[in-house]
Amino acid sequence: MTDSADRNSPTTADTALEAVRAGIDAAHPERVLRETVTVDGDRLRIDDRTYDLTAYDDVIVLGGGNAAGTVASHLAGRLDGHLTGGVVVTDDPAPADPVEIVVGTHPVPSDANAEGTRRVLERAREAGAKTLALVAVTGGGSALLSAPADSVPLADLQMLTEELLQSGAPIDRINSVRKHVSVLKGGQLARALAPATTVGLIFSDVTSGDPSVVASGPLSPDKTTYADAIATLSEYGVDAPASVSRHLQRGVEGDVPETPGADDPAFEHTSIHVVADNCTAIAAARDVCREAGFETLVLSSSVRGEAREAAKTHVAIAEEIRRSGNPATAPAAVLSGGETTVTVAGDGSGGPNQEFALSATIELASADGAEAVLAAVDTDGIDGPTDAAGAVVDSNTVDDVQRARSLLAANDVHDYLGERGALVRTGQTGTNVNDLRVLLVPA
């Protein structure tokens, strides 16, 4: 799972890696759906709702995201004989016949994403009152379910996406823009599906747990407006293409319809089930740490802000544990999730979890935190535009603090961590419930 971990004792780095692996596995769609979806003959049960499959002329699977292919494959296997088709856009395909799997790109949309999204929308518009639509909405869906508004060329949407991802804006603000340059986001898929019975299966990768933010909320009422989108671009200094600015301004002036709000009849037949989120992963990681003898402290599942700054707070907690026994007694495990961001100033390679890890190891070089170990990963296995999920570090990872600080300032941490055997490489995991961090403080 890592380039190298044998320099650390089994009770530190190995336990940290075992914990994050358990978190990733716990939120995997196959495991989650086995526990939350029941099929008994002609009856489908999800949470507290039961659906008589014989009451529908069509049972389809739609949606998109990193884990959507796995969701579609699982449902195809469980609903054999009842499922009549559907379309899903993902970058991690799996066999799901009769559901069509469109392979797209992430995090920047491609022609395949746009074409696949239009096919999802077309299939949704064909749905009638006797259609049951099971819609997979997972992390990564904001990029994968991307078909721009007619007045915005795909190249401009790609440029906008790159600018937004480098702006340091939180995901809810980024998605307020995406919703308003899309044909499907911000509740517009629910509008297209009406009057079908629509069931959303949400794998949340956002700190708020708000379904309207996951994949930019294709099934949820949109609380944001065109004016909010323009405000985000201004506040975070995003230089949007002219076509995007024109489209958003037309929306403010009422020349383009607003995304549907809570009073829209499109949502009368739509139910949302958040079947996994960051807490799913944290709980499993916590169990591993407890079994290894660590007192556990869940800091938050909603950590956000600049990655390098959030790391300093985590290390400060480790220092306090060693110094005073507060807020936990060593051996202690501090766990957190959420989604930190990186405001890109340099042109190097890395990602939020790698920057978090490098910032932490610089801080861990101090005497009070010297024995602590941190594992920080993106649960989908892809941290930023790199081949790593994140990193596992301790105070010995950095031996030249000045160079490490310089690389961190230049957003160029990937190769540096790789040289030190600190990178965690999982490949695509099939899971996407945001970031997961395990900080272990030995006795």
Chain segment 295-353, per-residue pLDDT in tens: 999 999 999 999 999 999 999 999 999 999 999 999 999 999 999 999 988 888 999 99
**Mean pLDDT of the 190-212 span:** 94
pLDDT at residue 398 is higher than 80 = yes
The yes or no reply on domain 28-147+182-224+259-276 and CATH 3.40.640.10 is: no
Going by pLDDT thresholds of 50, 70 and 90, the confidence category of residue 211 is very high
Q: What is this structure's pTM?
A: 0.88
The full 3-state SS of the chain, as one line of letters, equals CECCCCCCCHHHHHHHHHHHHHHHHHCCHHHHHHHHEEEECCEEEECCEEEEHHHCCEEEEEEECCCHHHHHHHHHHHCCCCCCEEEEEECCCCCCCCCEEEECCCCCCCHHHHHHHHHHHHHHHCCCCCEEEEEEEECCHHHHCCCECCCCCHHHHHHHHHHHHCCCCCHHHHHHHHHCCECCCCCHHHHHHCCCEEEEEEECCCCCCCCCCHHHCCCCCCCCCHHHHHHHHHHCCCCCCHHHHHHHHHHHCCCCCCCCCCCCHHHCCEEEEEEECHHHHHHHHHHHHHHCCCEEEEEEEEEEEEHHHHHHHHHHHHHHHHHHCCCCCCCEEEEEEEEEECCCCCCCCCCHHHHHHHHHHHHHCCHHHCCCEEEEEECCCCCCCCCCCEEEEECCCCCCHHHHHHHHHCCCCHHHHHHCCCEECCCCCCCCCCEEEEEEECC
Q: Is the pLDDT of residue 8 over 50?
A: no
User: Percent of the chain having pLDDT more than 90?
Assistant: 89
Whether the pLDDT of residue 9 is over 60: the answer is: no
What confidence score (pLDDT) does residue 377 get?
A: 98
Under the banding of pLDDT at 50, 70 and 90, the label for residue 7 is very low
**Which positions ≥6 away from 91 have C-beta within 8 Å?**
66, 103, 104, 105, 106, 140, 144, 428
Query: What distance, in Å, lies between the first and last C-alpha atoms of the chain?
Result: 26
Q: Which of 202, 210, 435, 174 is nearest to 301 (CA)?
A: 435
26-77, pLDDT tens digit by residue?
999 999 999 999 999 999 999 889 999 999 999 999 999 999 999 999 999 9
Averaged pLDDT for residues 361-383: 85
If 0-12 CB within 10 Å is exposed, 13-18 middle and 19+ buried, where does residue 374 land? Answer: buried
Contact between residue 150 and residue 256 where contact means Cβ atoms under 8 Å apart: no
Integer CA distances (angstroms), 23 to 9, 12, 32, 37, 289, in order: 21, 17, 12, 20, 11
Does the pLDDT value for residue 207 go beyond 90? no
User: What's at 275, amino acid-wise?
Assistant: V
Domain limits, CATH 3.40.50.10180, in the chain: 28-147+182-224+259-276
pLDDT score for 11: 64
Question: Which tokens is 225 given?
Answer: 């407006």
Q: Is the pLDDT of residue 368 over 90?
A: no
Q: What is the dihedral of CA 262, 264, 267, 273, to 10 degrees?
A: -20
pLDDT for the residue 193: 98
The 10 Å Cβ neighbour count of residue 128 is 12
pLDDT for position 4? 40
Q: Is the previous residue joined to 170 through a cis bond, with omega within 30 degrees of 0? A: no
Q: Which CATH architecture has domain 10-24+279-441?
A: 3-Layer(aba) Sandwich (3.40)
- Is the bond preceding 93 in cis, omega lying within 30 degrees of 0? no
Q: Structure tokens of 415?
A: 């190769």
Tokens of 200: 């959303």
Residue 208: band (very low, low, confident or very high) from pLDDT cuts 50, 70, 90: confident
The segment(s) of the chain belonging to CATH 3.40.1480.10 are: 10-24+279-441
Q: Band of the pLDDT at 367, cuts 50, 70, 90?
A: low
Query: What Cα–Cα distance (Å) separates residue 415 from each residue in 13, 158, 359, 418?
Result: 20, 26, 15, 5
**Can you give the pLDDT at residue 371?**
81
Q: What is the mean pLDDT of residues 415-426?
A: 97
Q: What is the mean pLDDT of the chain?
A: 94
Per-residue tokens: 11 = 């009770």
The mean pLDDT of 87-107, rounded to a whole number, is 96
* pLDDT of amino acid 345: 87
Burial class (CB in 10 A: 0-12, 13-18, 19+), 258: middle
pLDDT of 243 > 50? The answer is: yes
Of the listed ranges 55-69, 168-182, 238-252, 366-380, the least confidently predicted one is 366-380
